[in-house]
Amino acid sequence: MGYTDTHIPVMRKEVMHYLNLKKGDLIFEGTLGGAGHTVEIIKAIAPTGRVIGVDLDSQAISTAARNLEAKGLLKFITIVNDNFSNIKNILRENSLQFINGFLLDLGLSSMQISESGRGFSYLKNEKLDMRFKGETGIKASEILNEYSEGQLSNIFYKYGEEKWSGRIAKNIVIYRSSRKLELTGELIEIIKKSIPLKYQHRQGGHPAKRVFQAIRIEVNRELENLSNALRDGVDVLTKGGRMVVISYHSLEDRIVKDMFTSFTGMCTCPPDFPECRCNPVRKGKIITRKIITPSDSELLENPRSKSAKMRVFEKD
C-alpha cells in the first residue's frame, strides 16, 4: 500500500547544486518519501551511480518504488525500510563502506499528514499513533495516557516550544482521570481549552501545531536520530562528499548547525563553560555560511516549503 500522490520536493534545484553530483556517485538519501529528489539525483549519477534510499514509513517506500518504476529508474536504487540513523548498518548490510553524498529532507510530507491515518494531522479525528514505522515503538496515546504531568509539560515545552505547556499537561491529566485519551480530536479540544482564545493563533498556525510536533518528536526520537545520522554519516562520507540537510523547525536546525560547526573543529560548548568539553575534530568545511531558503517562486508554487532551511557540509 502506498500514498496516492507524490510529495513536491523542496528546493530541488538547490539540492542538486549543493550535492555537486557526478556520474558513478553513491548517494545516501535518508528520507526517500515520494522520491521527488531521488529522480533528479539518479538522472545525475546514472548509469554507473546508485542511490541508497531509506525511509521508515513503509507507505512512503511503496509510493517511491511505484514512482521510480514508472520512470524506469528503479534499477538505480536500493530501497531500505529503516531509520536513517542506522546508516552504518544499512551500508554494511549492502556490502558498502563509503558514500559520495548524503541527503536528509526532514519535512513531514503532505501524504503522511493527510493519508497515513496515524494521527499526524490536527485537521482530522484519528487515533493518536504518530509512529513512522507500523507497530514499532511507543504510540502517542501511550505517552499522553502514561507520562506524568511534569513529563508531558517538559516535552511540550522542549520539543514544541509551547508556552502553555503546563496548562495543557494539567488538563490532559484531568481528562484522562475519567477516560483514556485516544483520538486527535480529543487532544485538540484539550489544547484549545488550555490556551486563552486571544493567544491561540498568535504564534502562527493551528493552536495544536506545537503540541503535535512535540509528541511526534518524542514518539519517533527524531532529534536523537538526527544527531546519530549526522555523526555516523560524516564518518562514511568520502573526501569532497557533501551532506545536505533540509530542516523545518528551530530544534532540528540547531542540531544541524551545531554538528556541522563541530565537524569544522570549532567548539560548540555553551559560552559559560570554563573549558571545552565537546573535543571537536576537524572533518571538513561548511559550504553554506548562511542558511539557504526557498526562492519566492517556489514559495508561490509550494507554500508548505516556507519553513525549510538548508545547510551544507563538505568532507575534507
Asked if residue 212 has pLDDT above 80, the reply is yes
* β-pair partners for 55: 81
Cβ-based neighbour number of residue 168 at 10 Å: 28
Half-sphere exposure of residue 234: CA atoms within 13 angstroms, side-chain side: 25
Cα–Cα distance, 284 to 169 (Å, whole number): 43
Per-residue pLDDT band at 204 (split at 50, 70, 90): low
pLDDT reported for residue 135: 73
Average pLDDT, the chain: 92
Would you state the cell numbers that stand for residue 67, as one nine-digit string? 514512482
Rounded to an integer, the average pLDDT of 17-35 is 96
Rounded to an integer, the average pLDDT of 195-212 is 82
Planar angle of CA 128, 131, 134, nearest 5 degrees = 110
Q: Is the Cβ–Cβ distance between 298 and 11 less than 8 Å?
A: yes
The answer to which of 105-114, 124-133, 180-189 has the lowest mean pLDDT is: 105-114
pLDDT reported for residue 117: 82
Q: Is the dihedral of CA 7, 110, 139, 252 positive or negative?
A: positive
How far apart, in Å, are the Cα atoms of 177 and each of 75, 84, 131, 149, 194? Answer: 54, 38, 25, 12, 17
Rounded to an integer, the average pLDDT of 143-166 is 97
pLDDT reported for residue 6: 55
Greatest mean pLDDT range, 31-35, 87-91, 106-110, 130-134: 87-91
Asked if residue 3 has pLDDT above 60, the reply is no
Place of cell 493527510: 114
Per-residue pLDDT band at 59 (split at 50, 70, 90): confident
Asked if residue 2 has pLDDT above 70, the reply is no
Where do the domains of the chain lie?
Answer: 12-111+222-315, 116-220
Per-residue pLDDT band at 10 (split at 50, 70, 90): very high
DSSP letter for 1, please: -
Closest CA to 186 of 150, 211, 161: 211
Question: What amino acid is encoded at 116 in this protein?
Answer: S
pLDDT reported for residue 199: 77
Provide the Cα torsion 197, 202, 208, 213; round to 10°.
-160
Asked if residue 277 has pLDDT above 90, the reply is no
Q: For the structural domain made of 12-111+222-315, what CATH number should be given?
A: 3.40.50.150
Per-residue pLDDT band at 216 (split at 50, 70, 90): very high
Please state the CATH superfamily assignment of the domain spanning residues 116-220 in this structure: Putative methyltransferase TM0872, insert domain (1.10.150.170)
Rounded to an integer, the average pLDDT of 273-296 is 91
Per-residue pLDDT band at 111 (split at 50, 70, 90): low
